[in-house]
Amino acid sequence: MKGWALVTGASSGIGRQIAIDLAKEGYASILLARRESQLIDLKKEILDKYGINSLVVPLDLASEDSVEKIVSFIKLNDIFLSILINNAGFGDHASFEDADIKKLTSMIDLNCTKLVELTHAMIPLMLKNSYIMNVASLAGFMPGPLMSVYYATKAFVISFSQALHTELLPLNISSSALCPGPVHTEFGKVASTGEIAAFNSISAQNVEEVSVLALKQMFKRKQIILTHPTHSFVVFLLRLAPRNVVGPIVYKAQGKRLAKKGK
């Protein structure tokens, strides 16, 4: 075994696939998510296919004492991490004035605050020559009317990840922001939209493809990880275009999706 990884949001989607692909590379994972039955199924699949024994932590990361519980679990099992994957998060698709404010503040807490708290708590428990990968999104490169808070949380994750990468250089711990476009996962069910409408022109990727590319770039210590050749061009255009132009374009695209949802 090469080492230990902590993967949040491991019960489905990108987190689940990353745990599988890390097992292929010889890493055992601490699988963290709310749904225990899905984590147990994943643990069995990884053990059967790769002979790697994962640890299951059924825990709601949004709970008040979640980080303390994770720290205690890791110390109790005498583990030092080689990899931290901050994948847990969710979105919502609605106009800001009509959105549930409790859901929005919970989104900020999980997508940003808990990510920061967990990362801060895990760094002392990480080996040198380790890796942190925070799951952001292409959405983080633009303003996102009708998903304004979600887009803003992903912009935070990108900025935080890049700053952290520089700070952690003396420890030889890299920090990467994974910025996929649309991916075939359960995200749309939680966000109340089949996909991020502003990305309709970008083909959705399979989660297997995203995971393989993400880990390959993470191990190369890339600060920003884009998972499709077209995404570099999209980001380049977004950086050139005035944000007061991008905002209305995103608003129009998201509005069409919201109108379809309301029918």
Query: How big is the CA angle at 262 (ends 259 and 263), to the nearest 5 degrees?
Result: 95
Distance CA 98, CA 107 (A): 16
Transcribe 198-242 into DSSP letters: GGTTSPPBPHHHHHHHHHHHHHTT-SEE--SHHHHHHHHHHHHS-
Catalytic site residue from 27, 114, 154, 251: 154
Calculate the alpha carbon distances from 56 to 10, 205, 215 in Å: 10, 28, 21
Catalytic site residue from 27, 131, 150, 151: 150
Residue 153 near residue 101 (C-beta atoms within 8 A): no
7 alpha carbon, distance to own chain's centre: 10
- Residue 154: active-site member: yes
Neighbouring CB atoms inside 10 A of 163's CB total 12
Give the residue numbers marked as catalytic.
150, 154
